[in-house]
Amino acid sequence: MSSETSSLGINKNDKNDKNDKKELRKELRWQRSEHFMDASWLHLLECKEFDGVTHVASYISYGVEPQTRDINDALRAQGRTVLVPRLLDDNDLEWVIWNGEAEPTGSSFTDLNLIGAVIVPALRIDRDGNRLGQGGGSYDRALPQLSAWKVALVHHGELTSETLPHESHDQPVNAAATPDLVVRFN
């Protein structure tokens, strides 16, 4: 039996293989580091899904991740509450009100029903909204707790028409945003 491989290096005969995801993450991290360009995702805030939203969960970007400083600052300037994740010892996330500092501090925010939109990091997003993250599963455990609109930020070229490897516990997003556009998934 021959094995067919996609342009992303995914074995098409076994797309749910954890080793495929691990190798793909390694390759995508390398690609991102080689092609990183600083950009802004402020256009995301013009989306209708942000209308009337008072609490937005976001993240504090680092390294070559899509940067969130300008989005987070703009949300706060609009009078919205920005929540950022704090990683717990068991690799779960809790949300903390962001005060503009580099690290999330303060007590855990527990009224998750107030969160109307969630901005999440991703290495790659496919046409069905499957998100390939860093591999810890923290967001896949946190996202089902939120009934909010979920959008992942990716750089140019990190939105793919090929189906990414995914498992039953992986949480798809409602949309993906590049520096130029927002793509919504059904």
Q: What is the rounded average pLDDT for all residues in the chain?
A: 88
pTM of the prediction?
0.82
The band of 15, judged by pLDDT with boundaries at 50, 70 and 90, is very low
Choice between 22 and 184, residue whose per-residue pLDDT is larger: 184
Q: CA-based Rg of the chain, rounded to a whole angstrom? A: 16
Kindly tell me if the per-residue pLDDT of 169 is higher than 90: no
What is the reported pLDDT for 2?
39
Choice between 178 and 39, residue whose per-residue pLDDT is larger: 178
18-184: CATH superfamily: NagB/RpiA/CoA transferase-like (3.40.50.10420)
Kindly tell me if the per-residue pLDDT of 3 is higher than 60: no
pLDDT 10s digits, 70-120: 999 999 999 999 999 999 999 999 999 999 998 899 899 999 999 999 999
* Alpha-carbon span 11 to 4, nearest angstrom: 6
Kindly tell me if the per-residue pLDDT of 161 is higher than 50: yes
Domain ranges across the chain: 18-184
Choice between 137 and 85, residue whose per-residue pLDDT is larger: 85
Kindly tell me if the per-residue pLDDT of 141 is higher than 50: yes
What is the reported pLDDT for 9?
55
Kindly tell me if the per-residue pLDDT of 1 is higher than 60: no
Q: Please compute the mean of the pLDDT values over residues 41-54 and round it to a whole number.
A: 97
Least confident range from 10-19, 141-150, 162-171: namely 10-19
* Alpha-carbon span 126 to 179, nearest angstrom: 17
Q: Please compute the mean of the pLDDT values over residues 46-50 and round it to a whole number.
A: 98
